[in-house]
Structures are given as C-alpha cells and as structure tokens.
Amino acid sequence: MSAATDGVRETAAAVLAALVERGLTVAAAESLTGGLVSAWLTEAPGASRAVRGSVTAYASEVKRDVLGVDGELLAERGAVDPDVARQMAVGVRALLGADWGTATTGVAGPEPQDGRPVGTVFVAAAGPGGRSATRELVLTGDRSRIREESVRAVLELLLGELTENVGAKDTEHNGGN
C-alpha cells in the first residue's frame, strides 16, 4: 500500500469522524473520480451514520439533468470549471438531502478536455446556509494519480470546512440515518 493511499484513507476517516461528531451528513458528486470519493468515505466503519450517497456524473447531461448544473454554463465553459464544481456540490447536497455536498470535475487524461490541460481539476464543498468553497488543482502524473489526488483534495477541502468553525453549530440539517 502506498503512502498516498494511506493519506487518502486517513483523510477520509477524519472527515467521517468530523461529520459523525457534528451529527452531519455528506453526499458526493463525482466526475473524473468516478465514485472514488464515496468509496473512500464508505470504507471507514460507521460510514452509514454520515454518508447519504453519491452521483457519478461523468456526462455533462447528467450534471445538468440530475445535479441541476446550469446548461448555459456547461455550454459556455465546459464541465471543467469552478462554477460547475460548485453547482455539482450544491446539486448533490439538495438531491440526496445531505448537510454537505462535495464535487470533483476535471481532466484526468490522457487528452485535454474543454480547452483545459490534463491535470486541471476543480473540487468543491457546499454546506448549510449557502456556504461553499472551491479549489483549483493543477496535478501531474498519470490518470490514476490525478484521480487519487483529486479525492484527497476534495476530502481535505471538506475537512477544512467542517473544522474551520469548530465552535459554530449549524442550524440547518438535512437527512441522516
């Protein structure tokens, strides 16, 4: 097992612990990661207390029709865009009734997409009260490495959002088991 894999496992476990501790839930919208975010989150024991589900939205039509991403935005900028990532996170949060939504969209390769070079990735997290954060990544390596680093980045982004306001209590709560 690689050190990178161990790092993703540790981050996923920390995210799950933070969610459970706060009584919150999460849902994932994934494009280039193809289900890896939810796979890592559900690997940890107790995942059913916090993970609502996921949508693998590889096609732009799925992003638009299932997650509610603006069709004009997709037509103008393509799927590899920070606003698309944010709208995916907001959409999966609403669709699956979660407190937090995460999203990954980008170019894992081997060819550029939407005028973006391989390794361009956007990750997003959306939570209660309209709160959201988006991060652009410029990654190197093969397809597998880019996907794994995208998973790590979105989990780290969510963990940061969850622990940023440790003393604050969310007043909105959706779903849960």
Q: What angle do CA 34, 39, 44 make, to 5 degrees?
A: 165
- What mean pLDDT is predicted for residues 155-160? 98
Give CA torsion, residues 92, 96, 98, 102, to 10 deg: -20
Q: H or E stretch including 19?
A: helix 3-22
Instruction: Point out which residues pair with 25 in neighbouring strands.
Output: none
167, pLDDT greater than 70: no
Name the pTM for this structure: 0.91
* Confidence at residue 6, expressed as pLDDT on a 0 to 100 scale: 85
Q: Which CATH class is domain 3-164?
A: alpha beta
End-to-end CA distance of the chain: 32
Interatomic CA distance for residues 59 and 94, integer angstroms: 19
What is the domain partition of the chain in residue ranges?
3-164
Tens digits of per-residue pLDDT, 4-51?
A: 788 899 999 999 999 999 999 999 999 999 999 999 999 988 899 999
* Six token digits for residue 124: 């997003």
Tens digits of per-residue pLDDT, 84-114?
A: 999 999 999 999 999 999 999 999 999 999 8
Helix-then-strand count for the chain, H and E: 6, 5
* Six token digits for residue 146: 């880019």
* Confidence at residue 173, expressed as pLDDT on a 0 to 100 scale: 36
Interatomic CA distance for residues 128 and 123, integer angstroms: 18
Interatomic CA distance for residues 81 and 74, integer angstroms: 9
List alpha helices for 66-107, DSSP H: 71-77, 82-96
